[in-house]
Amino acid sequence: MSDHEKTASETSKGNVILPAPSVEALNPISRKAHLRRKVEQFRLGQWSQFRKRELALLYPARVVLQTAREATRNKVFVRASSLAFFTVLALVPLGALAGSLLLAFGSSDGKSILQDLQQHLLPVAGERITQFVLQAIENATDAGLGAVGALGLIVTAVALFIQIEQVFNDLWRVEKRRPFRVRVLLFYTLITVGPLLLSLSMYKAAAVTANMGQFGFLGSLANHATPLVLSAGTFLLAFRLLPNTKVGWLHALSAAVVTSLIFELAKFGFNLYVSQVLATGYSAIYGPVGVIPVFLLWVYISWTVVLLGAQMAYCSQNLRTLMIDDKIERKMVDPLRNAFIGSSMLGVELFTPIARGFARAQLPVATRRICVESGYHFRIVEEGLTRLENAGLVLRAEVGEQLGYIPAKPLGDIPLHALIEAFELDSHKPEVVRGVAEVLHTLRQAQSLSVKGLTAEVLSR
């Protein structure tokens, strides 16, 4: 039988499976329906339905949209203004403290380090700003401030670091803070080793760029790429180290690259704006000190870019979980229980996925999976798991780049009534809730008695 006859025979028997028509072959109505279905699949996190080429376009777009949404929720622009204030307040103390520590270790390159930083971090009028800061640092260093003055400088500098760390942790929804000794060690590293390494990298990059000059186009490309590479490296370390949680290198790197591009564009745009609009007016109004408000504005813009980058790193790493949150908020799945952390059965509902997952594979269960199986909003799940952790019922563990949980004890040693009693009503609840506290307490006692003798093993079945 020929191939043509075989094909015809199979067609007549109904055994031939025709390929799905391409998007281009669909009529306009079908094409719109196909597009709506794809959007819904992506919104629900069904990414296995997409080809790699489609995900390469949709994923970054979704990250950008989610970043804008989270930045609005977390009031990034307000936080940037707060950090700008603390930065200007602590700029001279930081410089004086770093300079003193560098001199103590035999380094006398403080001025050159600051000038190198000025070339890569400051826009127009950077030289005047640098001279102003250098003079203030020299005054603070040479004035002999005494113990009280030195302590004031240190407190101001440390306050800036604590504020920065707190903002990054808030953007990453991290409630647990680092131990004080770890903070001191990290702060010391940032103000001593950080400037030295950054200055060294700038020196090496400048040497490479100078040697590349003979290569024409490549030399010009290296000259323009140097600020981008330095900025991306700085942002990468900040996004990776400042939040007190595990941040994936890939997510931190992608956010750092985007942030460095935006930062360089912001420098270019700010230079253009100042030179064309502000230069004449500010000089006429403020005179020689006209550079100060310009500098303050640039510090605010810089922090805004940095915080948006940190928010992008968070959204990139937790995109699926955030999309689940959005789905719950849109559909308002059981809104009463999602708004009521005092529910006595919340501990049981959150512990059930942990018990089942650990019983099957002896592995931590990711927070995202707990959100999916319980149907609770991510913030409710986080707060509930924190209560279970404080009650000694679960332990935190890492699941790849995600945070997960495991039972703190064997399932047979965790009574069900302990999961219920971990969620007592808070005293700060509204009057309407406190008014029925006695009734709810009676119900909780009845629930505890009804499960007396049962352990968390029943939840793993």
Top mean pLDDT of 157-166, 268-277, 288-297 is at 157-166
Question: Above 80 in pLDDT, residue 66?
Answer: yes
Burial of 47 (0-12, 13-18, 19+ CB in 10 A): middle
Q: Please tell me the predicted confidence (pLDDT) of residue 205.
A: 56
* Structural domain boundaries in the chain: 22-63, 74-317, 332-460
Interhelix angle 249-273/217-241, nearest 10 degrees: 120
| Residue 58, token pair as written in the block | 């949709």
| pLDDT tens-digit series, residues 307-347 | 999 999 999 988 877 776 665 555 444 444 444 445 667 88
Question: Above 60 in pLDDT, residue 351?
Answer: yes
Reported as a pLDDT band with limits 50, 70 and 90, residue 11 is: very low
Q: Please tell me the predicted confidence (pLDDT) of residue 314.
A: 92
- Cβ-based neighbours of 232, under 8 Å, separated by 6 or more: 253, 256, 257, 259, 260
Q: What is the mean pLDDT of residues 145-173?
A: 78
Q: What is the mean pLDDT of residues 164-170?
A: 90
Q: Please tell me the predicted confidence (pLDDT) of residue 71.
A: 92
When comparing pLDDT for 21 and 157, which is higher? Answer: 157
In percent, the amount of the chain with pLDDT more than 70 equals 52
pTM for the whole structure: 0.65
Q: Please tell me the predicted confidence (pLDDT) of residue 8.
A: 47
Distances (CA, A) of 80 to 74, 301, 346: 11, 8, 36
Rounded CA separation 388/142 (Å): 54
Question: Above 90 in pLDDT, residue 258?
Answer: yes
Q: Nearest Cα to 157, choosing from 109, 81, 87?
A: 87
What one-character DSSP code corresponds to residue 243? S
When comparing pLDDT for 116 and 413, which is higher? Answer: 413
When comparing pLDDT for 276 and 365, which is higher? Answer: 365
| pLDDT tens-digit series, residues 82-139 | 999 888 887 766 666 666 655 554 445 555 555 555 555 555 555 566 566 666 656 6
Question: Above 50 in pLDDT, residue 13?
Answer: no
* 309 in Cβ contact with 235 (< 8 Å): yes
DSSP 157-212: HHHHHHHHHHHHHHHTT--PPPPHHHHHHHHHHHHHHHHHHHHHHHHHHHHHHHHH
Q: Please tell me the predicted confidence (pLDDT) of residue 337.
A: 45
| pLDDT tens-digit series, residues 430-458 | 454 455 555 556 666 666 666 676 777 77
Decide if domain 332-460 falls under CATH 1.10.10.10. Answer: yes
Q: Please tell me the predicted confidence (pLDDT) of residue 15.
A: 47
Q: What is the mean pLDDT of the chain?
A: 71
